Amino acid sequence: MGTTTPSVKVANKWGKHLLLGFLLCLLVLPALQASLEWVPVGPLGGFFDPAPPTPELSWQTLSDNSYQQQMEKHLEMTAGFRNWLLRLRNQVAFTLFNQSRAPSLIIGKNNEFFGSNSVDAYFGRDVKGEEDLKFRCKRLRRVQDSLQAHGTQLLIVLAPGKARTLAAELPDSCDLSKVPYLTNYGIARDGCLANGVNLLDAAQLMARWQDTTHYPLFPRGGVHWSGYAVSLMADTLFRRVEHLTHLDLPDFASHGRTVATRVQDLRFTDNDLQELFNLMVDVPPYPVAYPNVVFGPETGKKRVNALIIGDSFAQSFYGFYPYYDKLLTPDSRYWSSNKQVFWPEKVPESTTVHDLDLAQQLAPRDVVIFICTEQNLQQFGFGFIEDAFNRFCPRTAQDLARIAAIENDIRKNADWLAKLTSQAEAAHEDVNMVIHNNAIYMQDRER
């Protein structure tokens, strides 16, 4: 039998020492990083719950096992290099298996990124109440008529989700032959048209532009429409506002463009979806165009006093270009989802919409513009339709009597009462309040 040479023994010894040292580093370095933060580690994209504080050690927390569980969660969230390791995990899943580690993010063909809510909306998976959406469109016409009687116009903008505009780039797992007729977008569009509500169908426009444009209307790594699409949409939107209000707004036009081909050169929301993927190496964008928008002098022109209510797509008109700053009066407002005042950033009144007097907010307006993307049409109106309708058409004594009568009918119907009682118990709510709210809902459909 051969003998092991001294050099081989030394090599084996050093190999064991190196392996042991490597394992010790794996154990010690994350702890040192968590305590000292001696290596800068960038934050992850998206929104995360803050790391829980160090739990309190006591006999009680030890005996009921809460200390161990809380400490485990604390260490998991504060481990050194955690963000790097998560990015590495996501990169391996993406590069080797073409998978997203986040269930709300979908990888399409040619590494086109989609949000799952946009895909669900396109396939009609989020349709819950067809009649409710139709009812809101019908009521919207009465709000429009009431606003017009006070000298204010109403304009609804239905914005498409990325999946609708780029359906050809959806993954093969999305069977395009199964796209249903019934979608929230179709219900809202047809409802507005049937009731004569002023409508700007941005989905139709985007479909038309998609066949002719040289630049993406939705960026590869973004969920919102691109800066290029915003410049096209703004031209159509504000011309429609001029037509409705008979105001001559300041002119604006595009003169040349800047083309971005690197992730670091993208603007505003043009990479917002890829940031949520949290990869180590970003997927490069398709060339994205940013037209150079120039606004003309205001001599002989007039800005519009607008109240804009919408989801995050409405932010594009001040995030990419200063359309709001240049075309709207200083008294104009943008209410994000009818909850918070997002533009202007500083206002003298409360930034919480429900703290404001709706009548005072509507009185001076030339136009109310409502912008909603199809994945948010379940919340069509964000409560504004009901608020405005109740403001212009308050309940009468006859309405209140009808509500009381419906409550009595509910209490006399054993099955109906048992159903609402079960709902109240499940929601930990007062059964009388549940009965009252159901009566209001039913009477509301009769108004």
Q: Quick check: is 55 in a domain?
A: no
Are residue 131 and residue 226 in the same domain, yes or no? yes
The structural domain count of the chain equals 2
Are residue 347 and residue 437 in the same domain, yes or no? no
pLDDT on residue 75: 59
Are residue 350 and residue 435 in the same domain, yes or no? no
Q: Quick check: is 45 in a domain?
A: no
Mean pLDDT by 10 residues, the chain (447 residues): 58 70 66 61 66 73 73 63 78 90 90 95 90 94 96 97 95 82 93 97 95 93 96 97 98 96 96 91 95 96 98 96 97 97 94 95 96 95 94 92 94 94 93 94 88
Are residue 247 and residue 175 in the same domain, yes or no? yes
Find how far residue 364's CA is from the centre of its chain: 29
- Strands 333-336 and 306-310 come out as parallel
Are residue 363 and residue 428 in the same domain, yes or no? no
Q: Quick check: is 302 in a domain?
A: yes
Q: Which of 331, 338, 323 shows the shortest CA–CA distance to 293?
A: 323
- Strands 113-115 and 105-107 come out as antiparallel
E-state strands within 161-268: 199-201, 252-260
Are residue 367 and residue 438 in the same domain, yes or no? no
Among the candidates 354, 370, 392, a domain finishes at: 392
Q: Quick check: is 32 in a domain?
A: no
Q: Quick check: is 201 in a domain?
A: yes
The set of residues, in sequence order, having a beta carbon less than 8 Å from that of 34 and lying 6+ positions away, is 78, 79, 80
Q: Quick check: is 248 in a domain?
A: yes
Laid out side by side, the sheet with 340-343 consists of 199-201, 153-159, 367-373, 306-310, 333-336, 340-343
H or E element that contains 154:
strand 153-159
Per DSSP, the residues of 365-393 read -SEEEEEEEGGGGGGTTTTHHHHHHHHHS
β-strand partners of 335? 309, 341
Q: Quick check: is 15 in a domain?
A: no
Helix, strand or coil, per DSSP, at residue 336: strand
Which residues span the domain enclosing 387? 107-392
142-155 as b/e, with b when 16 or more CB fall inside 10 Å? bbbebbeeeebbbb
Are residue 331 and residue 380 in the same domain, yes or no? yes
Would you state the structure tokens that stand for residue 281, as one six-digit string?
């190496």
Are residue 340 and residue 369 in the same domain, yes or no? yes
Helix, strand or coil, per DSSP, at residue 3: coil
Are residue 187 and residue 286 in the same domain, yes or no? yes
HEC states along 126-144?
Answer: CCCCHHHHHHHHHHHHHHH
pLDDT on residue 12: 66
Are residue 325 and residue 193 in the same domain, yes or no? yes
Global confidence as pTM? 0.84
Would you state the structure tokens that stand for residue 108, as one six-digit string?
């399409």
Would you state the structure tokens that stand for residue 153, as one six-digit string?
């116009």
H-helix segments, 217-373 = 227-245, 272-277, 316-319, 323-327, 358-362
**Residue 66, φ and ψ in degrees, nearest 5:** -75, -35
pLDDT on residue 85: 76
Are residue 422 and residue 385 in the same domain, yes or no? no
CB distance 328 to 306 below 8 Å: yes
Q: Quick check: is 100 in a domain?
A: no
pLDDT on residue 26: 59
Are residue 401 and residue 383 in the same domain, yes or no? no
